[in-house]
Chain A
Amino acid sequence: MMRLATLLATAACALAAPAAAQTFAVTNATVATGDGSEPIEGGYVVVENGAIAQVGRGTPSGNYSVIDAGGAWVTPGIFATVTNLGLWDVGAVSESNDSRAGNSPFSAALDVAPVVNPASQHILVHRAAGITRAATVTMPSASIFGGQGALIDLGADPQAISRPRAFQVVTLGERGGRIAGGSRAATHALLRNALREAGSYGDGARIPAGGARADLRTGDDLPIDPRLAGRETERAGDALLTRFDAAALVPVVRGEQPLYVYVERASDIRAALALTQEFPRLELVLVGASEGWLVADEIAAAGVPVIADGLDDLPANFEELAATQSNIGRMVKAGVKVAINAAAMENPRNLNQYAGNLVALTRIPGADGLSWGEAFAAITSVPASISGMGGKAGVLAPGATGDLVIWDGDPLEVGAMPVKVYIDGIEQPLDSHQSRLRDRYRDLDTSDLPKGYDW
């Protein structure tokens, strides 16, 4: 048995090259499974061949190499969505920053899969903060479409991509309006045209019958010209999209690839939800949704999940006038599946702090927050589920990937950090540029040699 104190000591000298997937049990732990339930005291987790095999209270059945957590918290790894992890080194150093492509002739066709750098310092820093998986994507810049995002793991190995082309992103609202030509109306025309061009790109992509606009009828209004709602476009003479972009949108109109829609204002959310009347196969996910609480019942009825900004509470612009930290709590109360949006904070490693703040709201009269279990799920199992990894990531349950974090405290408390991180059952190194600077400057002693020799 290895006590936590020993764990702490050994964490400092983590191996540079991780070993193969391990089989072991962590016992005497406070286990938070990530599924929304409250933590289990005196719990255990068994990892076998890189996957979770058992979770429970007491002692596991079977004979395993045992790590006694000494009561420490054990959780699944945090799942960060949406991020640009692996796409940049220094934000303002443009040549090191691949997170947007403002001068590209392509948009929906952009694909981060060949671009993600597993050795990025930000991947290292966030791995050490307990984030084991993420959705990462380029942001809309030249077009309302941002491109195709990938699911990645943050393991110290060359293979970061666990699922390429996992979703497409599009921005509506104020930002989309500016990009599309200066008005939200331009956004909607551009989006519909793009989806119809993609829909004409092969039989399998055709928009199903019945996919007509269900507009308000006042009795004397002009009907929509059939060519605006039709199932065909004449690609050769009427194409706005490049061939690549149209092809990239085919899985979106087929409903095989979720469409992440960046949208904030209540009326823009309604307009986004209405897209499925016209394009029935769309798998929508709302991102941002600062005014989601105003239309929470409609979002819930549509069965559309939300990746919501966690703590926005200011009218940062005219599409977020109703922003409140209670947004997520109110949407969850209405039955919406909500994950906390990592893109809405300086660093995704603050996801746990944001989740903890939502717990704090439960003690404020008039506010709506989340229980501890709900809040932790909003940064683990829920984003994993929205990303198509339900039951596989963000949760400690038999059959899930062996992503496991042992913490030095309550993982939602400010300042909590991992003692050990496992991805696919492999213990991970926790070093980075930051940890090396920390070690060098533990003192300022240069009496024998300059700091340059302290490494």
Chain B
Amino acid sequence: MQLTARAGAAMLRPDCIGGSMTRIALLACAAAFAVAGCSTTGGDGVASASAKDWSAPVGEDGRVPFASTYAPYPGRPTALTGATIYDGRGGMIENGTVLFREGKVVAVGDASLATDGYDRIDGTGKFVTPGVIDIHSHLGDYPTPSVQAHSDGNEATSPMTPEVWAEHSVWPQDPGFTRALANGGVTSLQILPGSANLTGGRSVTLKNVSARTVQGMKFPGAPYGMKMACGENPKRVYGGKGRMPSTRMGNFAVNRQMWLDAQAYDGKKRDLGKETLKGVLDGEILVHNHCYRADEMALVMDMAKEMGYKVTAFHHAVEAYKIGDLLRENDVCSAIWADWYGFKMEAYDGILENAAFLQREGACVVIHSDDENGIQRLNQEAAKAQAAGRRVGLDIPDAEVVGWFTYNAAKAMGIAEMTGSLEAGKMADVVLWNGDPLSVYSRPEKVWVDGALMFDAMDRRRRPVSDFELGQPGEGDVK
């Protein structure tokens, strides 16, 4: 760790506003169900939507641009037996069995499930969860090495840049993807623009597979998200340049005018920014809103009602615990850390009990990372938040806590119909842990993406090594 970035990080959390050293993120909420299945970016790339599908504008070739070229890698029909299974939706089966073949989960059940025709893997003493999902990552758009030439997460030249797409900044060779897979069991993740801008641009959801192109990682059928940010970052970045916004009220004024202008867009002439905003207004694109303070989140939810869109998730919502009731009523998720606090004024009221207090209110909790290191330990962060709840008498079952970094994240990213839980017919995104995933002493032993074994701790060749690391000291190390 570098002195500047980290010793300082003890107090100055990167925030996604400056260069590569200042990343913090913030997104917000995904809502989810309303939009699941609306995307047309997957499959063969041929546009199937009408001209009104703002989310996936059709190009001159009659296709949606930058379509996913990802297809599952070959896998063996596999039966995981004897393990404790957390299905991601609150279910737990001891001595359970998970069957998957041809990329899909076939069945999840107890030891009585027949495993004929499957390769059996004995999971006795081990645990199985859905693949881990990070709703807030900057892998690829703030990749390592964190040099200025790689600082591609903030188009900090205008407070509103709905026209930029994060996928155009993602470097597939970021070594961070491999660490997230091997140490964190991450199988899907949302890459967001940073938080310098009030409206930062489109996010992209990826499968965590090694690929030569970003199209080779794009999650087929995942809806787009749009990053927004409130609070300190935009007003600091633009106020510092002598531009609007320089205040929180300026933040809102700029945002509201942007929505009014978007509502008036008739689509006769293509406009990249307006297409994205229209996609939000039509519910096809999910708003992920970086927002720390409770009072500001309440204002944003009212602004969304005024303008006719929905906030899916507030990200970095360190004060969400103050308004868990409001967040539940508005069906907005809170994507949060377990314990980061104090690095900026709007993070001063962070407390360990944030997740537990939200759960108490019946609000949606997602544990996120916003960090290339934290993404390797989302399970541990969730366990910390769970323990804080236990100390104040809120006992949240392990099976529900696992949902904080699997199903709830998928729901808020609009992909819960496809992944995020172990249910028949869903993508076989699966982690076999060598122990309780809520323990510091456990690690992923095997990770499957769409039924293909993409990481195996017991086989040193079954781990991806990025182009960047070839021929460098430590190539292929366990890391």
Tell me the A residues contacting B by CB distance below 8 Å: 82-84, 88-93, 97, 99-100, 121-122, 139-140, 171, 174-175, 262, 264, 266, 288, 290-291, 294, 309, 311-326, 341-350, 353, 356-357, 359-361, 363-367, 408-409, 412-417, 433-434, 437-438, 441-442, 444, 451
- Give complex CA distance A438, B361 in Å: 15
| Chain B interface category by residue count | 35 or more
Bound together, the chains give a CA A366 to CA B477 distance in angstroms of 8
Q: How far is the CA of A317 from the CA of B435 in the complex (A)?
A: 33
Residues of B close to A365: CB separation below 8 A? 457-458, 460, 478
Please pick, from B12, B440, B477, the residue contacting A91 in the complex, using a CB distance under 8 A: B12
User: A364 contacts B443, CB within 8 Å?
Assistant: yes
What are 29 A-B contacts with C-beta separation under 8 Å? Answer: A90-B344, A91-B11, A91-B344, A99-B11, A139-B3, A175-B3, A313-B183, A313-B373, A314-B176, A316-B144, A319-B2, A320-B2, A323-B474, A325-B478, A326-B477, A343-B10, A344-B6, A346-B343, A347-B339, A347-B341, A353-B380, A364-B478, A366-B478, A416-B387, A417-B391, A434-B351, A437-B351, A441-B353, A444-B324
Chain B residues with Cβ below 8 Å from A359 are 440-441
- Decide yes or no: A415 and B383 within 8 Å by CB, A313-B183, A324-B479, A343-B6 being known contacts: yes
Q: Which 6 A-B pairs have the closest CB atoms?
A: A415-B387, A91-B11, A356-B440, A322-B474, A322-B473, A343-B7
Point out the residues of chain A lying under 8 angstroms from B434, CB to CB.
363
List residues of chain B with CB within 8 A of the CB of A414.
380, 383-384, 387, 438-440
Contacts of B468 in A (CB 8 A): 315
Partner of B8, one of A99, A326, A350, A434: A99
B residues 112-154 with Cβ under 8 Å of A?
144-147
Instruction: Closest A residue to B381 by CB, please name it.
Output: A414
Q: Does B342 reach chain A (CB closer than 8 Å)?
A: yes
B235 is an interface residue with CB less than 8 A from chain A: no
Whether A91 lies near B373 (C-beta < 8 A) is: no
CA A370 – CA B8 in complex, angstroms? 27
- Bound: A257/B422 CA distance, A: 58
Question: Are the CB atoms of B147 and A317 closer together than 8 Å?
Answer: yes
State whether A321 touches B472 (Cβ < 8 A).
yes
**Chain A residue contacts of B460, Cβ below 8 A:** 365-366
B33 contacts A by Cβ under 8 Å: no
Q: Give the distance in Å from the alpha carbon of A438 to the alpha carbon of B393 in the complex.
A: 12
Cβ-defined contact, B439 with A100, below 8 A: no
B339 touches A350 (CB 8 A): yes
B478 touches A140 (CB 8 A): no
CA distance A171 to B1 in the complex (A): 13
Tell me whether B388 is interfacial, beta carbon within 8 Å: yes
Residue of A346, A353, A438 ringed by the most chain B CB atoms within 10 A? A346
- CB of B274 closer than 8 Å to a CB of A: no
Would you call the interface of chain A mostly helix, strand, loop, or mixed?
loop
In the assembled complex, the CB of A322 is this many whole angstroms from the nearest CB of chain B, namely: 4
A84 in contact with B441 given A315-B175, A414-B380, A441-B357 (CB within 8 Å): no
* A367 x B439 contact (CB < 8 A): no
Q: How close is B335's CB to chain A, nearest CB, in angstroms? A: 17
CB of B387 within 8 A of CB of A90, answer: no
Pick the residue among A121, A345, A363, A442 that contacts B342 (CB under 8 A): A121
Shortest C-beta distance, A261 to chain B (Å), equals 11
Q: Which of B444-463 contact A (CB under 8 A)?
A: 457-458, 460
Q: When chains A and B are docked, how far (Å) is the Cα of A248 from the Cα of B311?
A: 56
Closest approach, in angstroms, between the C-beta of B355 and any C-beta of chain A? 12
Q: A121-B342, A318-B145, A415-B387 are in contact. Are A88 and B11 (CB under 8 A)?
A: yes
Other than the given A262-B3, A365-B457, 7 more pairs (CB < 8 A) read A90-B348, A91-B342, A348-B10, A415-B384, A437-B351, A444-B323, A444-B325
For B322, what are the chain A residues with a Cβ–Cβ distance below 8 Å? Answer: 441, 444, 451
What separation, in Å, do the CA atoms of A357 and B383 have in the docked complex? 14
Task: List residues of chain A with CB within 8 A of the CB of B208.
Answer: none
Q: Is B13 an interface residue (CB 8 A)?
A: yes
With a CB–CB cut-off of 8 A, which chain B residues contact A444? 322-325, 361
Query: Which A residues lie within 8 Å of B443 (CB)?
Result: 360-361, 363-364
Q: Determine if B224 is an interface residue (Cβ-Cβ < 8 Å).
A: no
- B10 close to A288 (CB less than 8 A): no
- Whole-angstrom distance from the CB of A243 to the nearest CB of chain B? 27
B457 proximity list for chain A (CB < 8 A): 364-365
A309 to B373, CA, bound (A): 12
Roughly how many angstroms separate A91 CA and B15 CA in the complex, as a whole number? 12
B179 neighbours in A (Cβ, 8 Å): 313-314
Q: Given A122-B342, A343-B10, A415-B383, is A316 in contact with B1 using a C-beta cutoff of 8 Å?
A: yes
List of B residues within 8 angstroms of A413 by Cβ: 439-441
Q: Is the CB of B373 within 8 A of A342?
A: no
Closest to A372 in B: B441
A320 to B323, CA, bound (A): 42
CB of B349 within 8 A of CB of A437, answer yes
- Contact present for A92 and B343 (CB under 8 Å): yes
- Report the minimal beta-carbon distance from A367 to chain B, rounded to whole angstroms: 4
- A266's nearest neighbour on chain B, judged by CB, is B473
Residues in B neighbouring A363, C-beta threshold 8 A: 434-435, 441, 443
- Asked if B13 contacts A346 (CB within 8 A), the reply is yes
Most buried by A among B2, B477, B478: B2
Asked whether, in the complex, the Cβ of B442 is within 8 Å of the Cβ of A360, the reply is yes
Query: How far is the CB of B356 from the nearest CB of chain A, in Å?
Result: 10
- Cross-chain contact of A324 among B339, B390, B442, B478 (Cβ < 8 A): B478
Chain B neighbourhood of A84, CB < 8 A: 7, 10-11
Instruction: Tell me if B51 is interfacial: C-beta within 8 Å of chain A.
Output: no
Q: How far is the CA of A373 from the CA of B274 in the complex (A)?
A: 59
Residue among A122, A288, A367, A441 making CB contact with B1, cutoff 8 Å: A288
Contact B388–A415 (Cβ < 8 Å) = yes
Closest A residue, CB atoms, query B383: A414
Instruction: A319 to B1: give the CA distance in the assembly, Å.
Output: 10
Judge whether B264 is part of the interface by a CB distance below 8 angstroms. no
A288 to B4, CA, bound (A): 12
